[in-house]
Amino acid sequence: MVQKISILGATGSIGDSTLQVIASHPTEFSVSAVTAGHNVELLAEICHRFKPSFAAIADAASYDAFKMAVAGLDIETACGEAGVLAAAAYPADRVMAAITGFSGLRPTLTALENCPIVMLANKECLVAAGSVFMDIAAKHNTTVLPVDSEHNALHQLLVAKSIDDVRHLTLTASGGPFLNMPLDKIGEVTPEMAIKHPVWPMGEKISIDSATMLNKGLELIEAQHLFSVPADKLKVLIHPQSIMHGLLTMHDGSVMAHMGTPDMQIPIAYCMGWPERLNADIAGLDLAAEGELSFLAPDFNRYPCLELAYEAMHAGRGMPTVMNAANEVAVEAFRKAQIGFMDIANLIQVTMSKMMDADISDLEDVFAINEAARRQALDSIPL
């Protein structure tokens, strides 16, 4: 049976990899609904090629241009936040949640409420909404499959195992483009330098998060909720080649690792096929060609954002929501050259210290704290 796949954030990097997996399995998958933020041209191209039944563009000002670009196709269209939510609720067997940032939260929640399987790429929405997010998934009996490569690795490793038998879970990190840069030079890096990731081609926001390693901090909190593990069972290991994605250390001393070429089509194919395996046309791993794999512990002087994320994870309550919001503001300000690279951590730290009482018990709190933390962070620029 052909499975219908909807893609929220179809014009992004994860959206593109998802469409590539679909294109190589034309008898197994079809595209149901797609969304974009602003990119009219690419969304229209996707509609012409993949013939979805529904497409929405978040930017209402681009709607007329989009309708013209898909004129003649048998497709329903919509725009604005309501349009994106309608796409998330459109009938599908699986939804890929790949809108970037907190703005992906409402669409992803709508997908959780309407679709039996949500393939989760957007980590920010899980970090910001935490257990509220997981409770909504549980209430609707929705399976959340992690697309993020490290969590996807751990998901595969945890099959038929109890989390009680695991001593700790390790997420690997490439270390980003500034792993070997002299510490006193990092303050001078430009957005263009931060966006050039050495291993993974990704969207701009996650590339900057990888450079600060706040990305790994988001992933620690993501893992905490996805696998219901206490914060002290989660570790981070730098592994520049990004071949090994996740490790489980068992109580008996055994360590199991998951490996794969750094290509997001691999975790995406796992999520699309689950619980079966797709016969994916993806190059295998050639360890002999790889030669050496190396590992090192993260240095908080180089990656202060990672230390802040550990603090937020241990503090719990509303602190991950605050940290995520402050980071989104900081990354945007860095991209506009309003603050320097190391100021990203400073801005997150200042915002967290001013919002120590933040707590969340429901979705309303999540939106209110996200808004308050954004305002607080914006008020602190320039630092």
**Residues that constitute the known binding site for NADPH:** 11-14, 37, 39, 122, 124, 203
For ligand NDP (CB under 6 A), the number of binding residues is: 30
Cis peptide before 275 (omega within 30 of 0): yes
Could you report how far apart the first and last alpha carbons of the chain are, in Å?
Answer: 56
CB-based burial of residue 307 (10 Å sphere; 0-12 exposed, 13-18 middle, 19+ buried)? Answer: middle
Tally of CB atoms within 10 A around 100: 22
d(C-alpha 315, C-alpha 272), whole Å? 35
Q: How far is the CB of 206 from Mg ion (least distance, A)?
A: 8
Candidates 88, 124, 278, 329; binder of ligand NDP (CB under 6 A) is 124
- 328 binding ligand NDP? (CB under 6 A): no
Q: Quick one: what does residue 152 bind among Mg ion, ligand NDP, none, with the CB cut-off 5 to 8 Å set by partner type?
A: none
- 202 binding ligand NDP? (CB under 6 A): yes
Whole-number CA gyration radius for the chain: 20
Q: How far is the CB of 13 from ligand NDP (least distance, A)?
A: 4
Q: How far is the CB of 282 from ligand NDP (least distance, A)?
A: 15
Beta carbons within 8 Å of 289's beta carbon, 6+ residues apart: none
**Cβ nearer to ligand NDP, comparing 13 with 380:** 13
Angle formed at CA 369 by CA 143 and CA 218, multiple of 5 degrees? 50
The answer to whether the beta carbons of residues 273 and 94 sit under 8 Å apart is no
Q: Which structure tokens are listed for 22?
A: 């679909």
d(C-alpha 175, C-alpha 32), whole Å? 37
- 99 binding ligand NDP? (CB under 6 A): yes
- 100 binding ligand NDP? (CB under 6 A): yes
Annotated binding site: 11-14, 37, 39, 122-124, 148-150, 174, 197, 203, 210, 215-216, 219
**Cβ nearer to ligand NDP, comparing 205 with 239:** 205
Candidates 11, 32, 170, 172; binder of ligand NDP (CB under 6 A) is 11
CA-nearest of 99, 84, 71 to 33 is: 84
Give the binding range for ligand NDP (CB under 6 A) out of 34-42, 228-236, 238-246, 301-309: 34-42
Beginning with the edge strand found earlier in the chain, give each strand of the sheet holding 255-259 in spatial order.
234-238, 166-173, 244-250, 255-259
Q: How far is the CB of 80 from ligand NDP (least distance, A)?
A: 9
d(C-alpha 334, C-alpha 340), whole Å? 6
- 12 binding ligand NDP? (CB under 6 A): yes
Cis peptide before 177 (omega within 30 of 0): no
- 217 binding ligand NDP? (CB under 6 A): no
**Cβ nearer to ligand NDP, comparing 150 with 350:** 150
Helix (H) or strand (E) holding 340: none
d(C-alpha 363, C-alpha 128), whole Å? 10
- 328 binding Mg ion? (CB under 5 A): no
Range 139-158, binding Mg ion (CB under 5 A): 148-150
Q: How far is CA 60 from CA 57, 69, 232, 250, 367, in A?
A: 7, 15, 45, 51, 22
Q: Quick one: what does residue 265 bind among ligand NDP, Mg ion, none, with the CB cut-off 5 to 8 Å set by partner type?
A: none
The three-state secondary structure class of 199 is coil
**Cβ nearer to ligand NDP, comparing 14 with 350:** 14
Q: How far is the CB of 248 from Mg ion (least distance, A)?
A: 17
Annotated binding site for 1-deoxy-D-xylulose 5-phosphate: 123, 149-150, 174, 197, 210, 215-216, 219
Give the binding range for ligand NDP (CB under 6 A) out of 5-13, 45-53, 223-231, 243-251: 5-13
Sites of contact with ligand NDP (CB under 6 A): 9-15, 35-39, 58, 84, 98-100, 103, 121-124, 148, 200, 202-206, 264
